[in-house]
């Protein structure tokens, strides 16, 4: 059905273009007929009188056979090799070369006609056809937008359902996972040798599952910000344990935000930066926070899918990190932007157009 709706405007546009071409042909035919009528009148009236009586005529020049020496281009008319010639461009308008008989000899008239003389024939149909083309284009754009909007709504609906399902699963998994982690920690404390190593591996995997549960909950439900004023130095101290080797720079300032949500967003960016490069920098001003790494950067095909949930290039990634960061930043009235760093790496920037 959608494809049929897209074909209909195209058919209307093609039909209108064909009719415009036919109108152009009709205009030319009218001007040719007018030129022939003027030439017929020149057989009986002087050129000056014809110009006065024919408003469509802009200029008339007549030639005899003796003028071919000065104007070699008119020789074919007097030799019978050419009977009619039409010329049209933006500078001269519509020019017709028409032979006629006067005073017992063959003469040649060069007629410059005003193309607007045919407007009464083509102006209104042309306006209607142009309107039809505009309406058809609008129909096509509206149909294309409708198809896109339906697909987008269906995709958003699927993501919403997936988010709800993720939240339910995360809640169901969190409690038994916490109990399992507690028993593993207790068993590790009371064991030794190889068993302790095996239990440590199990605890690592349990922690990874725990982080996955947290990510699923963060993705499914972004909390309402609890606004308060905080100094950047305080936020910096909260971030340092997550990235001990990162380089922090920037003067102290105060901002109104949700400290927990902002910390979670920046920590996710720090994790990505530490996975990508060996040097991580964090810079901050009252208008933005930047996390930069010196890694290989983001390929174009990866950049197009950065904010699609569950899409990841990491072997054990969830594909939710940047999606969660973007949702948190938007809840804090900010924007998240990623760009190439110089000379290599990626720069993730949280910026605010306004402070609360």
pLDDT above 90 (res 349): yes
Confidence class for position 258, pLDDT limits 50, 70, 90: very high
pLDDT above 90 (res 122): no
Helix (H, G, I), strand (E, B) or coil at 244: coil
Highest mean pLDDT (candidates 14-28, 126-140, 331-345): 331-345
pLDDT above 60 (res 355): no
CA proximity to 306, closest of 290, 293, 323, 331: 323
Q: What does the pLDDT read at residue 241?
A: 92
Retrieve residue 182's tokens.
């507690």
Let me know: does 31 contact 94? Beta carbons within 8 Å.
yes
CA proximity to 25, closest of 98, 125, 102, 106: 125
pLDDT digits (tens, 9 = 90+) for 80-93: 888 888 887 767 67
Indicate the average pLDDT of the chain. Answer: 82
Exposure of 339 by Cβ count < 10 A (0-12 exposed, 13-18 middle, 19+ buried)?
middle
Highest mean pLDDT (candidates 83-97, 158-172, 287-301): 287-301
Q: What does the pLDDT read at residue 5?
A: 65
Q: Domain residues of the chain, as ranges?
A: 2-122, 228-352
Q: What does the pLDDT read at residue 266?
A: 93
Q: What does the pLDDT read at residue 291?
A: 93
Confidence class for position 121, pLDDT limits 50, 70, 90: confident
pLDDT above 70 (res 354): no
* Cα gap 38→51, rounded to integer Å: 9
For range 37-50, the mean pLDDT: 85
Q: What does the pLDDT read at residue 263?
A: 92
pLDDT above 80 (res 118): no
pLDDT digits (tens, 9 = 90+) for 203-236: 888 877 777 777 776 766 777 889 999 999 999 9
CA proximity to 222, closest of 355, 356, 307, 330: 330
* Cα gap 46→238, rounded to integer Å: 100
Helix (H, G, I), strand (E, B) or coil at 60: strand
Exposure of 163 by Cβ count < 10 A (0-12 exposed, 13-18 middle, 19+ buried)?
middle
Q: What does the pLDDT read at residue 223?
A: 78
Phi and psi at residue 110, to the nearest 5°? -105, 110
Contacts 24+ apart (CB under 8 A), 146-154: 146/2, 147/2, 147/6
Q: Is residue 333 left, alpha or beta, with left meaning phi > 0 and alpha meaning psi from -120 to 50? A: left
Q: What does the pLDDT read at residue 171?
A: 66
* Cα gap 321→338, rounded to integer Å: 13
Rounded percentage of the chain residues whose pLDDT exceeds 70: 89
Pick among 3.30.565.10, 3.40.47.10, 3.20.20.70, 3.40.190.10: CATH of 228-352: 3.30.565.10
pLDDT digits (tens, 9 = 90+) for 54-77: 888 888 888 888 888 888 888 888
Confidence class for position 342, pLDDT limits 50, 70, 90: confident
pLDDT above 90 (res 101): no
Give this prediction's pTM.
0.50
| Helix (H) or strand (E) segment spanning residue 87 | strand 85-89
Exposure of 316 by Cβ count < 10 A (0-12 exposed, 13-18 middle, 19+ buried)?
exposed
């Amino acid at each position: 059905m959608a494809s049929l709706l897209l074909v209909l405007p195209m058919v209307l546009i093609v039909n209108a273009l064909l009719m415009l071409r036919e109108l152009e042909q009709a205009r030319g035919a009218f001007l040719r007929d007018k030129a022939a009528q003027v030439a017929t009148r020149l057989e009986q009236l002087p050129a000056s009188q014809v110009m006065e009586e024919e408003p469509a005529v802009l200029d008339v020049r007549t030639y005899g056979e003796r003028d071919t020496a000065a104007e070699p281009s008119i020789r074919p008319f007097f030799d019978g090799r050419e009977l009619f010639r039409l010329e049209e461009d933006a500078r001269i308008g519509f020019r017709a070369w028409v032979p006629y008989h006067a005073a017992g000899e063959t003469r040649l008239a060069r007629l410059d006609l005003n193309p607007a003389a045919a407007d009464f024939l083509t102006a209104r149909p042309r306006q209607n056809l142009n309107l039809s083309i505009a309406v058809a284009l609008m129909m096509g754009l509206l149909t294309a937008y409708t198809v896109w909007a339906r697909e987008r709504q269906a995709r958003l609906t699927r993501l919403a359902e997936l988010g709800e399902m993720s939240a339910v699963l995360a809640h169901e998994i969190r409690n038994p996972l916490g109990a399992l982690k507690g028993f593993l920690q207790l068993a590790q404390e009371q064991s030794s040798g190889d068993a302790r190593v095996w239990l440590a591996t199990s605890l690592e995997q349990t922690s990874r599952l725990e982080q996955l549960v947290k990510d699923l909950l963060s993705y499914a439900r972004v909390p309402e910000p609890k606004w308060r004023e905080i100094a950047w130095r305080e936020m910096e101290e909260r971030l340092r344990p997550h990235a001990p080797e990162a380089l922090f720079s920037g003067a102290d300032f105060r901002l109104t935000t949700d400290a927990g949500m902002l910390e979670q967003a920046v920590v996710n960016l720090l994790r990505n930066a530490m996975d990508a490069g060996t040097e991580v920098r964090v810079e901050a001003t009252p208008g933005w926070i930047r996390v930069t790494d010196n890694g290989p950067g983001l390929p174009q095909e990866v950049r197009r899918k950065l904010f699609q949930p569950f899409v990841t290039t990491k072997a054990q990634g969830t594909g939710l990190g940047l999606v969660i960061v973007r949702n948190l930043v938007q809840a804090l009235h900010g924007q998240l932007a990623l760009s190439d760093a110089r000379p290599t790496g990626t720069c993730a920037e949280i910026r605010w157009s306004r402070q609360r």
